[in-house]
């Protein structure tokens, strides 16, 4: 079969990353039949040279096309158009255009959108093999254990014990459809509309928690997190609250962490007043600046106080968001009550993905993937941090630690963070203004000291080559808005 002539590929990247633009161009040619099944594409090096883009951009684009079934790769021969492009088949059956099936067309997944993992690096082929292993098992087709498949709970208990110093056995693990469901279960089990003592949530903080509190009419209050001093631990310790939701290892979104002493004080506070700590450990696998702190659950267990701690984790950051699998580790006396709530909310969790995940963890795939991603995210973190320093020379200050998939910056000027974020999105760059994470601002609670604007930039799913040009774009926009104010 002939080699493909790529001379007519033209990269128009208005509002898109180079990787996205290239992906769409190649996909379009395959879907409209101008590149025939079996034809060979140029090597990544040759195409990068031809288009004057980095080789990584082409490698990531080919990876995405491989993962979605548009290309196949043959050892020592190269990349070929797949015989049956999957989306073409879908397009014929349904009425959706290929564009409407795009992989990345939601602003939630756009460049710098926080909380999105690097999809291009996920070992899709390996994951498909695990799924294939289990789709044909008739024992997985009926209603399953509400608590989660035992194989997965055992794998998770072993993983959490070794990676996060969580102390638990499989009987305490409940598999859920993500941290969001775990948060809802934890709050419904420990709080109720008639609980008079408020429950505390971080501010700024993870908005999804407040949604549950509002939905179920649970009384709550905010505890401030500042870029200078982190969580106001004294405010928690002096409150009569019924419990607190915390992201202690990488506060979302400020990116600070609680040290061991603060953790121990909070555990003691919970134990003394029979209060609850809901620990959301959503991305602790990715710490670049320091060794991760031991989980609060593990620390509490060591001090015989784990009865007051509910530990929550998710696969959204270490794998991908759409998997919708998470877990919670709860004290033994809460398991039955949590299961009643889970039963009422959703029933059991899809079994085949659970079985695939159990194998992925127990055969070492997850830990290998995490190790690889830690290096990749750290490299992206260094690029974005350095570039921000270069382009903003102190006007933007990075306040978050080197961890996770996002970076948080503050500025002192009067540039409005919401206006800035809206205008950035029009230029194809998605950043989150801090106001998004501070719903209580409407209630006139003072802002963090010394800053006027702040935004959160997710670098997880940004191609490393797109980071520098996008920060350049953001700096042009920022200084334009600043000029307009003067
Ligand atoms: C603080 C926090 N917790 C948990 C999650 C993961 O939630 P889920 O497992 O529901 O995707 C996220 C995702 O962005 C998050 O930011």
> How remote is the CA of residue 38 from the centroid of ligand 1, in Å?
41
Using most ligand atoms within 8 A of CB, pick from 114, 208, 257, 457 the residue to mutate for ligand 1: 208
pLDDT digits (tens, 9 = 90+) for 387-406: 999 999 999 999 999 999 99
User: Given this model, what pLDDT does residue 444 score?
Assistant: 45
Whether 252 and 161 have beta carbons less than 8 Å apart is answered as no
Token pair of 449, please?
């000291």
Using most ligand atoms within 8 A of CB, pick from 316, 325, 326, 430 the residue to mutate for ligand 1: 316
User: Given this model, what pLDDT does residue 19 score?
Assistant: 87
pLDDT digits (tens, 9 = 90+) for 55-106: 989 998 998 888 888 888 888 889 998 876 665 444 433 344 433 333 445 6
User: Given this model, what pLDDT does residue 293 score?
Assistant: 83
Using most ligand atoms within 8 A of CB, pick from 184, 314, 318 the residue to mutate for ligand 1: 314
User: Given this model, what pLDDT does residue 101 score?
Assistant: 38
- Mean pLDDT, rounded, for 272-279: 96
For residue 205, the ligand 1 atom closest to its alpha carbon is: 1
Least confident of 101-105, 347-351, 367-371, 423-427: 101-105
For residue 114, the ligand 1 atom closest to its alpha carbon is: 14
Model confidence, pTM: 0.80
User: Given this model, what pLDDT does residue 447 score?
Assistant: 52
pLDDT digits (tens, 9 = 90+) for 109-129: 778 999 899 999 999 999 999
Q: Using 50, 70 and 90 to split pLDDT, how confident is the model at 20? A: confident
Q: Using 50, 70 and 90 to split pLDDT, how confident is the model at 440? A: low
| Residue that wins the pLDDT comparison between 141 and 92 | 141
User: Given this model, what pLDDT does residue 285 score?
Assistant: 92
Q: Using 50, 70 and 90 to split pLDDT, how confident is the model at 130? A: very high
Q: Which residues line ligand 1 (CB under 6 A)?
A: 115, 178-180, 206, 247, 252, 280, 282, 314, 316, 321, 326
Residue nearest to atom 3 of ligand 1 (CA): 282
| Residue that wins the pLDDT comparison between 159 and 439 | 159
For residue 280, the ligand 1 atom closest to its alpha carbon is: 3
* Average pLDDT of the residues of the chain: 90
pLDDT > 50? residue 197: yes
Token pair of 121, please?
């690096």
User: Given this model, what pLDDT does residue 102 score?
Assistant: 36
User: Given this model, what pLDDT does residue 107 score?
Assistant: 63
- Mean pLDDT, rounded, for 285-294: 86
Least confident of 24-33, 159-168, 415-424: 24-33
- In this structure, are strands 243-246 and 199-203 parallel, antiparallel, or unpaired? parallel
pLDDT > 70? residue 435: yes
pLDDT digits (tens, 9 = 90+) for 251-266: 999 999 999 999 999 9
What percent of the chain stands above pLDDT 70? 92
For residue 315, the ligand 1 atom closest to its alpha carbon is: 9
For residue 326, the ligand 1 atom closest to its alpha carbon is: 9
User: Given this model, what pLDDT does residue 93 score?
Assistant: 36
């Amino acid at each position: 079969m002939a080699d493909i002539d790529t001379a007519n590929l033209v990269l128009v990247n208005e509002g898109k990353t180079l990787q996205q633009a290239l992906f769409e161009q190649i996909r379009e040619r395959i879907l409209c039949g101008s590149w025939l099944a079996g034809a060979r594409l140029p090597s990544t090096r040759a195409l990068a040279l031809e288009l004057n883009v980095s080789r990584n951009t082409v490698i990531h684009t080919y990876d995405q096309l491989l993962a979605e079934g548009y290309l196949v790769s043959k050892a020592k021969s190269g990349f070929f158009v797949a015989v049956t492009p999957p989306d073409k088949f879908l397009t014929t059956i349904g009425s959706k255009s290929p564009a409407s099936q795009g992989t990345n067309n939601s602003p939630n997944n756009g460049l710098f959108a926080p909380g999105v993992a690097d999809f291009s690096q996920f070992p899709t082929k390996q994951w498909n093999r695990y799924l294939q292993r289990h789709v044909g098992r008739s024992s997985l087709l009926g209603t399953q254990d509400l608590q989660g498949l035992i194989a997965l709970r055992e794998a998770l208990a072993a993983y959490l014990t070794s990676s996060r110093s969580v102390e638990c056995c499989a009987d305490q693990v409940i598999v859920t459809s993500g941290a969001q469901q775990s948060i809802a279960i934890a709050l419904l089990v420990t709080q109720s509309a008639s609980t008079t003592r408020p429950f505390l949530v971080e501010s700024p903080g993870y908005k999804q928690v407040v949604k549950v509190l509002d939905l179920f009419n649970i009384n709550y209050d905010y505890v401030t997190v500042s870029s200078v001093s982190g969580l106001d631990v004294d405010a928690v310790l002096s409150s009569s609250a019924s419990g607190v939701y915390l992201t202690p290892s990488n506060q979302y979104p400020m990116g600070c962490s609680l040290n061991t002493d603060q953790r121990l004080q909070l555990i003691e506070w919970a134990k003394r007043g029979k209060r609850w700590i809901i620990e959301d450990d959503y991305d602790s696998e990715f710490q670049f600046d320091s060794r991760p702190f031991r989980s609060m659950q593990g620390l509490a267990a060591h001090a015989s106080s784990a009865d007051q701690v509910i530990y929550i984790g998710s696969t959204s950051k270490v794998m991908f968001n759409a998997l919708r699998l998470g877990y919670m580790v709860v004290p033994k006396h809460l398991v039955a009550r949590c299961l009643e709530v889970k039963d009422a909310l959703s029933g059991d969790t899809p079994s085949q993905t659970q079985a695939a995940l159990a194998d992925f963890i127990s055969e070492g795939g997850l830990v290998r993937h995490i190790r690889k991603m830690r290096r990749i995210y750290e490299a992206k973190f260094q690029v974005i941090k350095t570039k921000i320093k270069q382009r903003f020379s102190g006007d933007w200050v990075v306040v978050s630690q080197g961890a996770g998939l996002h970076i948080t910056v503050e500025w002192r000027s009067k540039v409005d963070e919401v206006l800035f974020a809206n205008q950035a999105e029009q230029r194809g760059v998605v950043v989150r203004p801090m106001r998004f994470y501070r719903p209580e601002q409407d209630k006139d609670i003072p802002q963090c000291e010394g800053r006027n604007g702040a935004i959160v930039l997710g670098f997880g799913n940004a191609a490393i080559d797109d980071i520098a040009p996008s920060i350049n774009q953001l700096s042009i926009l920022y200084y334009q808005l600043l000029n307009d104010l003067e």
